Structure 1
């Protein structure tokens, strides 16, 4: 009995790390949301994905993955709700235009509308074609098409007061500053959530989710903040999402990533009080 009480399970786990790391490098560790591989760029990560896997969200089979969960308010949504409510209140009932980049089928609109009055918000989702097709069909079936719109190309994006990117940046296929500069007008406010960051150099890895192995970008934190500064935005607020810290299973020497959210204000626009 004493032997059982003093059984060192941690020792076995430590001894198994090299074996687990080797399996992960071969993408044999298939637990959902597991990160495997470390690559210098997105293209290298895509080439390293298993041949049978999907490497982006532009597929009908991916639309229902975690759809129910994303359509609910989760802990890390509350800072976004707080700042969005402040923006709505500051406008005193005036219309507000919001661009939800990477907004799936409008999941955040559905999650937030029970807690916020979104009746005066024109909510546009920028997404991949498969998501846009499904999102439009759902909006029509629910009678939301007058308020909730979708587009899948940069040229169709409308001017917006607020840019919302909730979980987009890890999967964005272009530098974030370039994306902001491509918009028809500078958003006055940018709300970012679930941004994967680390203290070391930026790295791409692969994230397993449903039928996909998605390229997943973990940015260097200091460089990311410098990019925001160069864009002309100031960080008004920032928060850490400890539940979404990740370790790359195949490369534990990289350490843990950090997941953060940001409220950014255009430096040329007076701050909302």
Structure 2
């Protein structure tokens, strides 16, 4: 049923049949909150704010990553990289060569990129890699690091303000889960990071909105940002775009809203022009 509801022709047809659409939306809502597949994320609804999206999640349903089941996800990703990781490794390697020694990884879970990339990059001996995540994930990450990080380069944080003064602000598939936009967070930092390395960012060509994502273990408010808002917000803070790439393996189908669905995500590398 999900594939049918999520298909563009089907959505466009039902949009012209209000009674049918109302019935299908109600049926999809039930299926959405019953979804438990970890390998297939699904989406529901369009909302103006993070709080509106959060309010649409039933009170008894798990929300966000701050729970044991969500914290136990992604262990296999510490041992492999994907095609969209290669631009990230390219720029990280260049910036290490340029003197970068600290990475602040927003939503890096237990340190997925830190572990996976070290097989392909020569990490500086004095590297400090800090992951910021929710308490349940940080606790799981510290337990994992006690056994898998012999060089003790990995640290954990609970506040994005701790990214102030870091060399590289790193975010791979995490910005969409945050209450505040990246530009809003950067604007509050006294010393902004020299470099921004961002991957798997859901960017729409025209519209900014929130939806809700079901990751199998919980539901999460999910930010999609208009291209002009995303790029304009960052460049207005003194950053210059160095690179941009597409990830066609990631997509976001919002049933009943074909005009807002995404058929690819994006990655970006920025350098501070003041660095």
Task: Pick the aligned partner of 2:43 from 16, 35, 38.
Answer: 35
Compared CA separation, residues 250 and 212, structure 1 to 2 (3 A):
farther
Compared CA separation, residues 142 and 35, structure 1 to 2 (3 A):
same
Deviation larger for 206-215 or 153-162:
153-162
CA distance in 2, matches of 1:117, 1:156: 25
| 2:191 matches 1:147 | no
Compared CA separation, residues 24 and 49, structure 1 to 2 (3 A):
farther
When normalised by structure 2's length, the TM-score is 0.84
Q: How do 1:103-182 and structure 2 match up within 5 A? A: 103-120=108-125, 121-144=127-150, 146-154=152-160, 156-157=162-163, 159-182=165-188
Match of 1:224 in 2: 230
Asked if the contact 2:106–2:160 (Cα under 8 Å) also holds between the matched residues in 1, the reply is: no
CA distance in 2, matches of 1:51, 1:87: 44
Question: What secondary structure sits across from 1:26 in the alignment?
Answer: helix
Task: Pick the aligned partner of 1:44 from 49, 52, 60.
Answer: 52
Compared CA separation, residues 150 and 211, structure 1 to 2 (3 A):
same
| 2:205 matches 1:187 | no
Q: Between Structure 1 and Structure 2, whose CA radius of gyration is higher?
A: 1
Match of 1:5 in 2: none
| 2:56 matches 1:53 | no
| 2:108 matches 1:100 | no
CA distance in 2, matches of 1:229, 1:24: 43
Question: What secondary structure sits across from 1:170 in the alignment?
Answer: helix
Match of 1:199 in 2: 205
Compared CA separation, residues 116 and 232, structure 1 to 2 (3 A):
same
CA shift digits 1:40-72 (9 cap, x unpaired)? 111111111134422211111211223313652
Asked if the contact 2:78–2:111 (Cα under 8 Å) also holds between the matched residues in 1, the reply is: no
Match of 2:75 in 1: 67
Match of 2:29 in 1: 26
CA shift digits 1:109-142 (9 cap, x unpaired)? 0010111111422111111111111111111223
CA distance in 2, matches of 1:15, 1:159: 49
Long gaps (5+) in structure 2:
15-19
Compared CA separation, residues 178 and 35, structure 1 to 2 (3 A):
same
| 2:271 matches 1:265 | yes
CA distance in 1, matches of 2:164, 2:231: 26
Compared CA separation, residues 155 and 199, structure 1 to 2 (3 A):
closer
Q: Alignment RMSD, CA only?
A: 2.4
Deviation larger for 146-155 or 97-106:
146-155
